[in-house]
Structure 1
């Protein structure tokens, strides 16, 4: 298209040259004009502002800009339209064959900058022409925010010469005229909004997330191909305005197809929300009675109560109250593990189906499930995703709240109106990593619920505290749930939220916000005035809890042979009543290897019992994903509430051998709990699976089960009685030695006294840390404290700055003050792992996916040109096993890496392949890889 020589009389600048392009990939040899993409992004931001952002988030943003919502929306639309103005440079435009002879100059030498960085460097000098203060805070933050739309923020530009534009590569008047023409085109289309009086860093980071979302929505190939058929005839103001208006009408359908419409619930009492419950229990009734008058704006609610006390239902109700009070209908529920997230996703979907408004209308909303393996969950992910880059597929008839192709894309899940995921998904918002602003934006319009808040190590606690500071700054309401939360952690979490809300660090001279934890009970923190209200403040009577029989706790010494526990005699004694009379028991071991050993031990014993033998189950993390999911579903079905109600609960007898994977959020009820020694809070969590549903009167206990009982296995201490107790290295590699010693001493001192629940729980949890007389090994205690300090120090280096330290500069959100690879950032300390796929090799050298050698090992996928389809990837990844990284990983050979065709798939390229040799007789033999032997046993999982 030829360049226009005429000028636009309104501004005295030439009209835009439509040859300047923004998109070309996937457009069948055509290019999409830069000005059209800029206007699309501006229109998308305006539609998102009015139709996607929650009312509460709009108010928070507008208030921080010291303006009204309409003006704020038009300002943000204007800014969004400028995000790619850095593409109007020679270095970008010359990436494809285009005639630039009419635009001489700006030939850069040296390292090429990104177009996002160019945007951030040019805008500080261009925005003042529209009334933005030269060198002002708002001007700098807008430029930095838009320069960070690819996920990384750049420093404010500094210059050394009198001609900074030329210094930054903007030297040609021909290019400058076109950039200013684009600036004015977007400015005119968005209503020529005047600059806001104020903008701060936390708000700018959230707005950046909105800009990124707008850009992603209008960058889809299907959308661009459709708009290519109706491009403006020229770069005149009227033609561009018409394009903008058409985009405004077209973009709402993108929200529909992406599943971005809000999920809202009408006001309701607790009883109306949960009609299946006969009546609320004491905790639920207290919250339902007192919180409505306290929840008048943003705040935090901490709920502490024993296991099985209905905290989940309480959290749903509290989230509804806080969401209504703050104008934030969105939800994010954070769980400690993928398995617990899967279960919570199912529960929340059932709640949403019952409670959501307009359930009889076609839905365009998603209730997302967020963790690395969520796409394998058939209850969430579409059967086969044709591609995560497009959303313009026909919605058709689908399950309400089901996943959309678009939201299944990387980094997009938190943008769903409601979501359930691992806590890592939220904590990544405060790591100094790319697109953390997008995650903050995804959380900012929601009520954030953190379940099992006690399940964080010192490293994760620092991340959670920083997340709470940012959520407090952004007026985001929070609900924290815990059954075993130490009072100091409760205090730190509440204090962090208040620091964010009040914009300053807590003064040590001020009284602590949580002097003690009411257990069971709750507290409410008003973010605006800083007032903390505990349940005991509004009702002096203790909260009634479900009647429970005292928990019998017995320490049982286990003989030690060659540094390992010999559990055979002890388990035979403890399980004999079950073998004779039936019932259900669980045995929790510290490591996978120990669980596999106990399973072997019981298998041999039960094999001698014939048809009268109890059923035996094994669950740990080293099963193939599909098998682990099936085992989890089976044990929940048998040992859970539904199994008891339907008669599927084992009556002949059943024993579950497991690791820590069953101690959180799984609905299990056993007659006897046997556990290796662990920190007391975890023992109480495990005990919460013992007689869990007794109050429902649905379980017929065997005669030998008189009351809930926790048998704690401890190594027999044959040494000097005055010495600190000894524990195996396998245990101290999982838990700090000092906590094992303190718990051991604490339980010994109780001398078999039963644990009253809830009366004794908080005291036990606090004492194991606070009672210095339990520290029989000062060296171990000092080592524990040193390790905790080291973890907290590493976490402080990984997290983004405090909100008040980012008031005028966003660079610290993604830049380190020291050299570090972004990929080493993690939400959990020392949690690096890889996914292993075991395959089978017969004597002829053929490769198979199953030990029977019936499923061929796929060298390529079933898709076009041998590519792997989503169904192919699902089948392969469902066979993988997570394995912790270690020295073995540095000894892998080429045989352990995926074939070439696999490396083109995001889901397959990083798998580690472990061969398993199959004999002519069908036996599977262990294989040496990376200096260790590997064997995938069909019953016991992966064995090292």
Structure 2
């Protein structure tokens, strides 16, 4: 006989309703809330593809998946029916003491407060999710480390709290829980579980692949987060107050209430129409070919700059019928902001919920727009004359930590995605966001070996989970293509391929497995394309200049000034490799050049946003034929849609150098204001400024070997006078690519290694060190995951710095907030007032937004110097702690007191003149 549910057992404690008789929300009410949210998420939030894959991964029939997921969600907090949680014995208050006294009077075993602290298993007992795992483990099992549903629920607060049955701490924990294994506590556990299961008929036990557990856990977390919203609990408190009407009726009422809440999360809405009607121009051969292959899997697109790879990827997502979301990942914040605008334009005729996700996203004007809250969203938005479809609308809920990738449409930096394969709390929420999306990773050639290894691990998981991935690049080395293809195939449990016939332009497609062994396919298709658009097929003239070390800025300035004297109406691009050189060049030019733009990372968030916006307007596909100069670092080569008449560039590794070349005459056939005949120069021209001797540290941030091999093998030591796009892209990139094989092939036969050999050896060793570091920090490959090993899946860290931990750097780095009490100077509009640092001003989005707008990332010796000053009194540099994760570990720099630094209105943060 099942005992009556005791409504005194609570799940949420707080002031949810001023009229409520008490401030406790019953445990069963919260379990039912989470159950019905899971039902809605299954029905409307998960795509058909995700439901099919999750069914096969968990060993549950598709018809049984809905009640199975709902049951798991409905049992997630079952462990709260224990005295440690109910009495909050680790942190008791009079309210909790009165509550426990009432339970003791009703016959519940209640331990003394001292008995609940200071013993070996205390840490586990205090975690109700760990207790849930124990409650759901059959008595015959040897602990719950082998029980899939127990582990899935034990992770729903971000770490998998798994009890090792051989550990003395676990034994003490189990001894304590044995005290609750009978009597009223056990009766209530059984009653709650049986009622939940009565509301989910047709559920099936899991027969889950271990690597599917993080996805299950993330789904349960999502249901719990929605069900735990304060408004939801307040509404549920009123409904639960009349619980005598029956819990089936309560569940029915809550299903109706949560339907609108889950709908407000949004589902992806694709533009209606064909390619031409969507983009305003007909598709080229690449775009036609990619749209014709919408099946999920790994797709690698290699095509020249300006060929329309972005439109091809978006069009392929548009025609897919599996309902997946979209995440577009870029290498930098500036490129993510620029791509976000392009995707908003692509989605203009829709009413999608969207998110921009990187550490400074809140500075984007998108978040100044009215945001959706939890309210009904029409299934088919009215696009009549009274409607105003905006393409994307922000939803406040997705601005919470770990949530942005769950949005129907999201654009951001690639670190937001790669942090899903690093060990930290709630990493699996990012895997869930990826699980039901098409992932588009742009500019994949730009990843260093550390980041590339994280991408490789991500692709293994994507293959194992059937995730759709598109990789875009014009200059990806063949060796890296093989690495990425075989990573995805490894996830599919397919053998590696050794020889892929590659070309440019082309796209490669490795189909995703249907996750049934009998249906696995090894069919991989490589589609070579013979046609390219006129804009993409270009012959670029190369001119070479060599300079001595330390004379780079002088040489670049001289080239720009000479160009402008000969072609005073030219739009000139200048791309260099470090911020210091960019600032030096721009500083020397601004006295003689009008229309000067500067763009690099050492600017405050607001300053950089304005600089990016202005540069895109001046050098875009719709820009006017007026003179201008852009001085920038690598950001200008990565997804920024800029168009120069002529480019002056510092020598860079072949993939980057060719990307820079692709910014010359980029829109010559599509911008009527700047056709070829109207260009001030007769041919697209790139001037490459190279050092007489390629040596460290003049090659930073690249290695000596990368630069040497580009100079010797891609540029023929300055003898190459032209680049044919696309014909020369793959040969130049592969010729300059540095690997172990190229080291063996080129090593000197002399007993003493040449400087080139030494640089090559250093590069190979450094590359391997970076890969090993990434492997140590990453989650294991899916094939290596076992149920017990999930205990270490998230590691022991609650927070990570996504940007810095997905990139390799040996330099010191710090984020600083620049402040000044005098904001009247033009450049100082980008600073924060010191009053914003006061402790009582730390609350609210507006303050956080202002502080983020005044932040600057600083690396190298400058970061070291500021760090030293922060530990020295009265230097104007102090450590700043803010509640927002976006502002953790920052330094506040008062420019009123630090006279040797300044924020220049054009150049960004730099040392003051004369310092």
Report the TM-score, using the length of structure 1 for normalisation.
Answer: 0.83
Alignment match, 1:764: 732
Alignment match, 1:225: 234
Residue 335 of structure 2, aligned match among 313, 326, 340: 340
Alignment match, 1:859: 835
Alignment match, 2:636: 662
Aligned ranges 1:82-161 → 2 under 5 Å:
82-95=75-88, 96-97=96-97, 98=99, 99=101, 100-101=103-104, 102-105=107-110, 107-110=115-118, 112-113=122-123, 117-124=127-134, 126=136, 128=138, 134=141, 140-159=147-166
Alignment match, 2:270: 265
> Secondary structure of 1:204's match?
helix
Aligned ranges 1:15-94 → 2 under 5 Å:
15-27=4-16, 30-94=23-87
Shift of 1:461: 1.0
Residues 570 and 838 of structure 1: is their aligned pair in 2 closer, same or farther, counting only changes over 3 Å? closer
Alignment match, 2:263: 256
Alignment match, 2:453: 462
Aligned ranges 1:205-354 → 2 under 5 Å:
205-233=214-242, 239-257=246-264, 260-265=265-270, 269-274=274-279, 276-277=280-281, 279-288=282-291, 290-291=292-293, 295=295, 298-321=296-319, 323-324=320-321, 327-354=322-349
> Secondary structure of 1:448's match?
strand
The reply to whether residue 488 of structure 1 matches residue 457 of structure 2 is no
> Secondary structure of 2:446's match?
coil
Residues 116 and 616 of structure 1: is their aligned pair in 2 closer, same or farther, counting only changes over 3 Å? same
Residues 194 and 662 of structure 1: is their aligned pair in 2 closer, same or farther, counting only changes over 3 Å? closer
Given that 1:848 and 1:856 are in contact with CA atoms closer than 8 Å, whether structure 2 keeps it comes out as no
Residues 896 and 267 of structure 1: is their aligned pair in 2 closer, same or farther, counting only changes over 3 Å? farther
Given that 1:559 and 1:567 are in contact with CA atoms closer than 8 Å, whether structure 2 keeps it comes out as no
Shift of 1:765: 0.4
Alignment match, 2:689: 713
Alignment match, 1:880: 855
Shift of 1:490: 0.6
> Secondary structure of 1:535's match?
strand
Given that 1:935 and 1:943 are in contact with CA atoms closer than 8 Å, whether structure 2 keeps it comes out as yes
> Secondary structure of 2:72's match?
helix
Structure 2 distance, partners of 1:532, 1:517, is: 13
Given that 2:336 and 2:411 are in contact with CA atoms closer than 8 Å, whether structure 1 keeps it comes out as yes
Structure 1 distance, partners of 2:826, 2:539, is: 48
Alignment match, 1:680: 654
Alignment match, 1:525: 510
Residue 704 of structure 2, aligned match among 732, 737, 761: 737
Residues 794 and 490 of structure 1: is their aligned pair in 2 closer, same or farther, counting only changes over 3 Å? same
Structure 2 distance, partners of 1:303, 1:854, is: 39
Q: Structure 1: state its 5+ residue gaps.
A: 1-11, 607-612, 718-724, 919-925, 928-932
Given that 1:147 and 1:154 are in contact with CA atoms closer than 8 Å, whether structure 2 keeps it comes out as yes
Q: Structure 2: state its 5+ residue gaps.
A: 89-95, 379-386, 514-520, 748-754
Structure 2 distance, partners of 1:543, 1:379, is: 35
Given that 1:639 and 1:668 are in contact with CA atoms closer than 8 Å, whether structure 2 keeps it comes out as yes
> Secondary structure of 1:695's match?
coil
Alignment match, 1:751: 719
Given that 1:124 and 1:135 are in contact with CA atoms closer than 8 Å, whether structure 2 keeps it comes out as no
Residues 186 and 900 of structure 1: is their aligned pair in 2 closer, same or farther, counting only changes over 3 Å? farther
Shift of 1:239: 2.3
Shift of 1:835: 2.9
Structure 2 distance, partners of 1:900, 1:760, is: 51
Given that 2:10 and 2:25 are in contact with CA atoms closer than 8 Å, whether structure 1 keeps it comes out as yes
Alignment match, 1:182: 192
Shift of 1:435: 0.8
Structure 1 distance, partners of 2:792, 2:501, is: 34
- Structure 1 residues 364-395: Cα deviation after superposition (integer angstroms, max 9, x where no partner): x412111111111112454699xxxx846999
Given that 1:127 and 1:139 are in contact with CA atoms closer than 8 Å, whether structure 2 keeps it comes out as no
Shift of 1:585: 0.8
Given that 1:23 and 1:33 are in contact with CA atoms closer than 8 Å, whether structure 2 keeps it comes out as yes
- Structure 1 residues 530-558: Cα deviation after superposition (integer angstroms, max 9, x where no partner): 2111113xx7x566664644111222012
Given that 1:801 and 1:813 are in contact with CA atoms closer than 8 Å, whether structure 2 keeps it comes out as no
Alignment match, 2:904: 937
Alignment match, 1:202: 211
Structure 2 distance, partners of 1:866, 1:752, is: 59
Given that 1:589 and 1:660 are in contact with CA atoms closer than 8 Å, whether structure 2 keeps it comes out as yes
Residues 489 and 898 of structure 1: is their aligned pair in 2 closer, same or farther, counting only changes over 3 Å? same
Aligned ranges 1:588-667 → 2 under 5 Å:
588-604=575-591, 606=592, 613-643=593-623, 648-650=624-626, 653-667=627-641
- Structure 1 residues 891-916: Cα deviation after superposition (integer angstroms, max 9, x where no partner): 41466899999745555564421122
Bigger mean CA offset, 667-676 vs 160-169: 160-169
Alignment match, 1:371: 358
Matched positions, count: 850
The reply to whether residue 13 of structure 1 matches residue 12 of structure 2 is no
Bigger mean CA offset, 247-256 vs 145-154: 247-256
Alignment match, 1:7: none
- Structure 1 residues 791-850: Cα deviation after superposition (integer angstroms, max 9, x where no partner): 10010011111112224345255355xx889647711112874332222367xxxx9998
Shift of 1:936: 1.7
> Secondary structure of 1:334's match?
strand
Q: Output the aligned Cα RMSD.
A: 3.4
Alignment match, 1:610: none
Given that 1:116 and 1:149 are in contact with CA atoms closer than 8 Å, whether structure 2 keeps it comes out as no
> Secondary structure of 1:379's match?
helix
Structure 2 distance, partners of 1:543, 1:905, is: 47
Alignment match, 2:516: none
Given that 2:451 and 2:807 are in contact with CA atoms closer than 8 Å, whether structure 1 keeps it comes out as yes
Alignment match, 2:752: none
Structure 2 distance, partners of 1:636, 1:160, is: 60
Given that 1:447 and 1:477 are in contact with CA atoms closer than 8 Å, whether structure 2 keeps it comes out as yes
Given that 1:366 and 1:417 are in contact with CA atoms closer than 8 Å, whether structure 2 keeps it comes out as yes
- Structure 1 residues 310-358: Cα deviation after superposition (integer angstroms, max 9, x where no partner): 001111122234x32xx2331111111111111211211222233xxxx
The reply to whether residue 804 of structure 1 matches residue 783 of structure 2 is yes
Structure 1 distance, partners of 2:230, 2:390, is: 26
Alignment match, 1:871: 846
Structure 1 distance, partners of 2:830, 2:695, is: 46
Structure 1 distance, partners of 2:236, 2:66, is: 24
The reply to whether residue 892 of structure 1 matches residue 895 of structure 2 is no
Residues 477 and 490 of structure 1: is their aligned pair in 2 closer, same or farther, counting only changes over 3 Å? same
Residues 240 and 573 of structure 1: is their aligned pair in 2 closer, same or farther, counting only changes over 3 Å? closer
Structure 2 distance, partners of 1:788, 1:406, is: 40
Bigger mean CA offset, 421-430 vs 801-810: 801-810
Residues 867 and 899 of structure 1: is their aligned pair in 2 closer, same or farther, counting only changes over 3 Å? farther
Structure 2 distance, partners of 1:535, 1:455, is: 24
Given that 2:355 and 2:409 are in contact with CA atoms closer than 8 Å, whether structure 1 keeps it comes out as yes
Bigger mean CA offset, 900-909 vs 242-251: 900-909
Given that 1:862 and 1:869 are in contact with CA atoms closer than 8 Å, whether structure 2 keeps it comes out as no
Residues 242 and 397 of structure 1: is their aligned pair in 2 closer, same or farther, counting only changes over 3 Å? farther
Aligned ranges 1:546-625 → 2 under 5 Å:
546=535, 548-560=537-549, 564-565=550-551, 567-568=553-554, 571-573=557-559, 575-582=561-568, 583-604=570-591, 606=592, 613-625=593-605
Shift of 1:13: 2.9
> Secondary structure of 1:182's match?
helix
Residues 334 and 542 of structure 1: is their aligned pair in 2 closer, same or farther, counting only changes over 3 Å? same
Residues 551 and 382 of structure 1: is their aligned pair in 2 closer, same or farther, counting only changes over 3 Å? same
Structure 1 distance, partners of 2:156, 2:877, is: 34
Structure 2 distance, partners of 1:314, 1:566, is: 39
Shift of 1:86: 1.6
